[in-house]
Amino acid sequence: MKVYACTEGRSGQVDAVSLEMIAAARQMVEPGDEVIAFFAGSSKEDACAKLGSADRLIAAVAPGAEIVAADVYARQLCATIAAEGAGAVVVPYSANGLDVASAVAVRTGWPLISYVDQIERNGDTLSVVARMYAGKVLAECEAPLPAVLMVNPGAFKEADIAPIPPERVQVADASSAVATSGARPIAIDLPDFSDVDLKAAERIVCVGRGIGDEASIDLARGLADLLGAEIAGSRPVVDSGWLPKLRQVGKSGQKVKPRLYIALGVSGAPEHVEGMGQADTIIAVNTDPKAPIFSVAHYGSTCDLFDLISSLSERLQTTSR
């Protein structure tokens, strides 16, 4: 069986989530099966340098295309599937992946399961766990193969970065598909990281809606200062204007990988975990013992976050004297 791991990136660069898709695809292979990384972009070099943990790489290349729109990506992938066959397709739950997964499912007629966190294969059937409703519902689903799975970023540990030998790489020309596409990406508007680059932070203290109000963020900021950490927030905190957008962690914010991540009053919705699930050590503080954040945390406490901030800050102040 061939399992396609859909990779993502722009300007010919491969995003880290691509390695997670290879790891997710590996969950369902049996001896004799193949994991094929599918890439679409302006050049194949970065994909060739990084995606060697797949058995093969198929790169749809359109020189000059900084972004390959989802409709082109899906068409190229479906053409490959038609030529080679497939047993399953793994797509990241992302802005691009939402469009790619649904287009592939419609074109092939295969079932699509979204928000996948766990995958198990039993012969010709997949058993998967889908994390839905901001992580509050875990749905156990079964699907016959072939199938399309849209996988939550952060759910699978990245496969190793490795170069892929040229004999395992196949290149397709996507130029005419890009030229005839109805969707034309016009510009890439990147944020200005001059205030803070959370991606480079070794320690992060992240506050969620549990912090209650804007004034209380200063308490968490004080703790962050004592720890030499950056302060960050979940989306509701940023949407409320309590922290700037560049300090948002998650799907529509920054993807961070610090050595230490302290989540204070964060529920752990999949969209948040997508941005921090790969941190080395995660400490979660949440009064709700059933909060999904505890399923990714290495250490957790159900104490009140304000109690923790005050006792930990006091301890750090004492030891630094």
Minimum Å distance from CB 164 to ligand FAD? 31
Q: Is 248 in the site for ligand FAD (CB under 6 A)?
A: yes
Q: Is 271 in the site for ligand FAD (CB under 6 A)?
A: yes
Choice from 5, 21, 36, 269 touching ligand FAD (CB under 6 A): 269
State the number of CA atoms in the 13 A half-sphere of 70 facing the CB: 14
Q: Is 26 in the site for ligand FAD (CB under 6 A)?
A: no
Residue 295 CB coordination number (10 Å) = 16
Using Cβ positions, the residue closest to ligand FAD within the complex turns out to be 250
Minimum Å distance from CB 161 to ligand FAD? 25
* Nearer of residues 160 and 299 to ligand FAD, judged by Cβ: 299
Choice from 11, 127, 176, 287 touching ligand FAD (CB under 6 A): 287
Q: Is 310 in the site for ligand FAD (CB under 6 A)?
A: no
**DSSP code string of 282-309:** EEEE-S-TT-GGGGT-SEEE-S-HHHHH
List Cβ neighbours of 241 (8 Å cut-off, separation of 6 or more).
214
> Near ligand FAD by CB under 6 A, which window of 156-164, 180-188, 195-203, 249-257?
249-257
* Nearer of residues 96 and 248 to ligand FAD, judged by Cβ: 248
Choice from 153, 250, 277, 300 touching ligand FAD (CB under 6 A): 250
Peptide bond into 146 cis (omega under 30): yes
**Using an 8 Å Cβ cutoff, are 167 and 55 in contact?**
no
Nearest in space to 263 (alpha carbons), one of 225, 231, 228? 231
Nearest in space to 306 (alpha carbons), one of 236, 220, 243? 220
Interface with ligand FAD (CB under 6 A), residue total 28
* Nearer of residues 30 and 192 to ligand FAD, judged by Cβ: 192
Nearest in space to 170 (alpha carbons), one of 249, 56, 71, 89? 56
- Give the containing element (helix H, strand E) for 224: helix 217-227
List Cβ neighbours of 188 (8 Å cut-off, separation of 6 or more).
10, 11, 66, 67
* Nearer of residues 24 and 237 to ligand FAD, judged by Cβ: 237
* Radius of gyration from C-alpha coordinates of the chain: 21
> Near ligand FAD by CB under 6 A, which window of 65-73, 178-186, 213-221, 302-310?
302-310
* Nearer of residues 26 and 247 to ligand FAD, judged by Cβ: 247
Residues in region 95-154 near ligand FAD by CB under 6 A: 134
Q: Is 55 in the site for ligand FAD (CB under 6 A)?
A: no
Choice from 35, 149, 159, 285 touching ligand FAD (CB under 6 A): 285
Specify burial of residue 194 (Cβ count, 10 A radius: 0-12, 13-18, 19+).
Answer: exposed
Residues in region 187-246 near ligand FAD by CB under 6 A: 208-210, 234-236
Choice from 60, 291, 296, 297 touching ligand FAD (CB under 6 A): 291
State the number of CA atoms in the 13 A half-sphere of 237 facing the CB: 31
**Using an 8 Å Cβ cutoff, are 280 and 258 in contact?**
yes
Enumerate binding residues for ligand FAD (CB under 6 A). Answer: 134, 208-210, 234-236, 248-253, 265-267, 269, 271-272, 275, 285-288, 291, 304-306
